[in-house]
Amino acid sequence: MERADVSIIRLPVDQSGPHVQPLFTEPRVAVLPIGHPLAGRSAVTVLDLADDHLLQAPDAVPEWRDVARELRTGQCDDVPALHSVEEKLELVAAGAGIRVLPLSTAAFCARPDVVAVPVDGIGPSRVCLVWVATRRSRPIQDFADAFPSLAPTA
């Protein structure tokens, strides 16, 4: 089995072992079925989505988790194991729920039966470079140095 020395990942990830170097952030959007009442909006709030079923772990979108009606009433459906963006969007298109994705993922995987809507009040997707903190080699450091933070400066 081969191992990668360095990976590019999206947070969250357990940061107690690896070294995590932030690269950039990007907005996240709610992906809704085309017939959803909010699908025509230019943007929505997390509260607008409180009645929807989230097709991902609630902790992946803590802002939604904190206001979700289904979690407060204990009437939430299980989230099936989904292995690809295509599977996720297929369930959204079928009306099984909504999904929150990074903007670039939603744009790359666009399809005519779903719509991506910006969500006000939700944190961005954070992309980072990660490697095992105890591994200190020149190639790893050179690679990390080649990717300074791309986050915009204020």
Please write the tens of the pLDDT for every residue from 48-107: 999 999 888 888 888 888 888 767 666 666 667 778 899 999 999 999 999 999 999 999
Provide the token pair at 146. 């080649």
pLDDT at 64: 85
CA distance 153 to 78: 40
Angle at 68 between CA 82 and CA 124, to 5 degrees: 65
| Residue pLDDT, tens place only, 112-149 | 999 999 999 899 999 999 988 887 788 888 888 887 76
Contact partners, residue 132, CB within 8 Å, separation at least 6: 17, 18, 19
User: pLDDT tier at 2 (50, 70, 90 boundaries)?
Assistant: low
| Residue pLDDT, tens place only, 9-49 | 998 888 888 889 999 999 999 999 999 999 999 999 999 99
Whether this prediction's pTM lies above 0.95 is answered by no
- In angstroms, what CA-CA distances link 94 with 17, 36, 39, 154? 39, 11, 14, 41
